[in-house]
Structure 1
Amino acid sequence: MPPKSKADGAKKARVPAKRKLAEEFPPGEVLTDNAKKKWKLGSAVGQGGFGLLYLDSSGSVGADAPYVIKVEPSDNGPLFSELKFYMRAAKPSLIGAWMNSRKIDYLGVPKYWGSGFHEKGGKRYRFMVMDRFGVDLQKKFEENGKKFPRKLVLQLGLRLLNILEYIHDHEYVHADIKASNLLLSYTNPNQVYLVDYGLAYRYSPEGVPKEYKEDPKRCHDGTIEFTSIDAHKGVAPSRRGDLEIMGYCMIQWLCGRLPWEDKLQDPLYVRDSKLRCRDNIDELLKSCFPSENLPEEMKKFMQEVKALEYTDKPNYAKLRGILLQGLKTIGATDDRKLDFGVSANDTGPPSIKVRATFSRTLKRRGRTLLASHNAVCIWKVPPGSWPMPAEGYLPTAVIVCNYRANLFNSAGSGW
């Protein structure tokens, strides 16, 4: 069956093609969950799959409502599948207990607040209440020219390891990790949450792991550019598969593009490309990054994932250590702030850092950019121009100061 891709945004197959769409309810409609708690609908804020998403509150519903409610016809499958995960693994008490045991004050797993059925016009609907979130990382990725700073990628990796360890500890794997399924908190832009558990799989019911078994009918399930080699072979999702998908995401966020993204409509080509890259991780990284800036932490991370057997429990602490060492390598720490701006600690073309003082104001299109100021200037060298070109050539410079970076193409005196 056809895999998902960024191009078409289609949901994963195995869901019957013909589904009823949820009708739109008017603001003020009250839904009562299984615990007899009443939830009032606000305006519709989105549509996913075959359901609608509304602002929601147990009181009055304003533009700052803290919850959303997802509504689907009761005979649809996607929300039912997602609900099974939330009811088993995402109750606030479970998340809170796990956070306390790990001595952390935030975990990027959405909390389950309630669910139930609603009758209207002779039709029955299923609904679920969850936290409200902000923008997704795919939008941020595209706004950033399809590249994230290295520090940010490593921080996101650390958050994902906590999330995956939690859901793995509760017998589930996610199977569809990607930027569009990672949402920033609505109230705290430094927190990110993994959403969309419609493909979540209970890999170890009652503590008994499922055995490795290839099923041709399930080949290439997931989002094609990120899905695991196991999924390409029709094997049910696993913990090692989640980490493999996470690794592909991090590499894409760092370099902007995975080697097989030019042929996403050919799943066999994508599968074979991933197999070759698994067997030669060095070549994978060399195809994505300039040789002078290979992120050693990604090599070590992918090597750890490669060594896992299908039913192995990952060493999450070791994987965290690899990412933390990556931060140390670039002179950074996890300060718990997610900065999506330009960073000197990237993995792009080679650069030379020069500390300089501007002796006069710089202008661009008649607008003042910067008066006399000490700054670290990073000279970005275009591909094929290394080592530095002849004197007098002025490549693009990035000014990194105590404000958002400004880009310009020429410089005045004082350089």
Structure 2
Amino acid sequence: MAPKKQEKAKLPVPLPEGMILKDTERKTWQLGKMIGSGGFGLIYLEYQENGPLFSELKFYQRAAKQDCIKWLAFKQLDFLGIPRFWGSGLAEHNGKSYRFMVMERLGVDLQKIFVQRGRFQRETVLQLGVRMLDVLEYIHENEYVHGDIKAANLLLGYRNPHQVYLADYGLSYRYCPNGNHKQYQENPRKGHNGTVEFTSLDAHKGVAPSRRGDLEILGYCMLQWLCGKLPWEQNLRDPVAVQTAKTNLLDELPNSVMKWNPSGNSCCEIAQFLAYANGLAYDEKPKYEILKKILLDGLESSGILHKGLLEFSTAGHIRSSEASSKKQKVNAQKPVTEQINRVQNKLKDERIAGSHVIQRQAQKEEKLDGLINSERTQ
């Protein structure tokens, strides 16, 4: 069943500094000073009856084991942004039972930086997108989806601020237990789950999270980071209005995205990214290499390495946008058309057989043809 809506959990009373905790493997940990609190706990603490930390713990136990190291070698990656899990257990204090997890310490979250800066440079957005794709591909391969990707859940490394981690798996969902993908089923009673400004159209309809949903959410995040805001941010108290605005954005790609950025920077990579994600079937495995190539091509055109340092200054953003805005506007249309053509060909070649899938494919091809024709008339 789909995860329940987020509810404000009762935060536990902080445990005393210096208290000794013993995890399930009999390793001991000493509590230091509390460094913060989240929506469900005091970084590492919650009352035993609360659920989100239990969900996060199950994710780490099933999907974030040492197999991660083998996967890094197989993918020829030197880093994967999943926080390191050290242990977990239960603790008793003053008649209350607490669940705890011991995790790698991380640095500042991107939401704080985003609020300070107002937006991120185009190159930084593309770098973040590539790195998050690596994380999502890994957790998807391990039968999980994240379901709540946003700047507040992306944290920089504590010792290396140029590494970025996707944290908070309290809403993670096992979409494909034992290789059996969950069936598509709308449930209005469970609609609008997740963080409303970023959540997927499936989640708005009460459908259980899936891989395409994670990619759609990441696309919205990148759009906000680049443009400073999303088209539906003024309607966040009305989830139905947000859902309608997202539907319109996806139906009118690429123009809906291309015209949204007020900074003069090109959004063509994000338009291509969202077009691909929106073209996926609910249970279809994404071709992550296609999505990475979209973002990497954008970085290559700017002469930036995706493994390079993350730059969050606004000065560089302003200079780059002023210097290249005219060139980007002239050159943006051709890459979008070429990429949508490639996406269309991939969808034709790789669609799973079946009458319902064939019908969906026809709708996608018609939609993509419409995007290309609309673009050519401009």
What per-residue deviation string (whole Å, max 9, x for no partner) do you get for residues 119-144 of structure 1? 12222111111110000001111111
Match of 2:87 in 1: 114
Match of 1:40 in 2: 30
Match of 2:53 in 1: 79
Higher strand share: 1
Conservation of the 8 A alpha-carbon contact between 2:15 and 2:93: no
- Which of 260, 274, 295 in structure 2 is aligned with 1:288? 260
1 or 2 for the larger relative contact order (CA 8 Å, sep ≥6)? 2
SS at match of 1:84: helix
Count the aligned residue pairs: 324
What per-residue deviation string (whole Å, max 9, x for no partner) do you get for residues 242-271 of structure 1? 000000000111111111111111111110
1:233 aligns with 2:188: no
1:264 aligns with 2:236: yes
1:322 aligns with 2:312: no
The aligned amino acid for 1:22 is P
Conservation of the 8 A alpha-carbon contact between 2:157 and 2:163: yes
SS at match of 1:47: coil
Cα distance 1:176–1:45, how it changes in 2: closer, same or farther (>3 A)?
A: same
SS at match of 1:27: coil
Match of 1:304 in 2: 276
Cα distance 1:291–1:35, how it changes in 2: closer, same or farther (>3 A)?
A: closer
Where in structure 2 are there 5+ consecutive unaligned residues? 327-378
1:203 aligns with 2:193: no
Cα distance 1:275–1:177, how it changes in 2: closer, same or farther (>3 A)?
A: same
Match of 2:332 in 1: none
The aligned amino acid for 2:37 is Q
Distance of 2:145 and 2:175 partners within structure 1: 7
Which of 1 and 2 has greater Rg?
1
SS at match of 1:36: coil
Match of 2:193 in 1: 221
1:166 aligns with 2:138: yes
Return the TM-score normalized by structure 1. Answer: 0.74
Cα distance 1:133–1:310, how it changes in 2: closer, same or farther (>3 A)?
A: same
- Which of 89, 96, 100 in structure 1 is aligned with 2:69? 96
Written as runs of structure 1 = structure 2, the 5 A alignment for 1:131-146 is 131-144=104-117, 146=118
CA positional deviation for 1:20: 4.4
Distance of 1:315 and 1:118 partners within structure 2: 43
CA positional deviation for 1:218: 1.0
1:124 aligns with 2:97: yes
Higher helix share: 2
Distance of 1:246 and 1:326 partners within structure 2: 17
State the identity %. Answer: 51
SS at match of 1:281: coil
Cα distance 1:234–1:282, how it changes in 2: closer, same or farther (>3 A)?
A: same
CA positional deviation for 1:343: 5.9
Conservation of the 8 A alpha-carbon contact between 1:290 and 1:347: no
Distance of 1:50 and 1:303 partners within structure 2: 34
Return the TM-score normalized by structure 2. Answer: 0.81
Conservation of the 8 A alpha-carbon contact between 1:255 and 1:289: yes
Distance of 2:288 and 2:258 partners within structure 1: 26
Q: CA RMSD in A?
A: 2.2
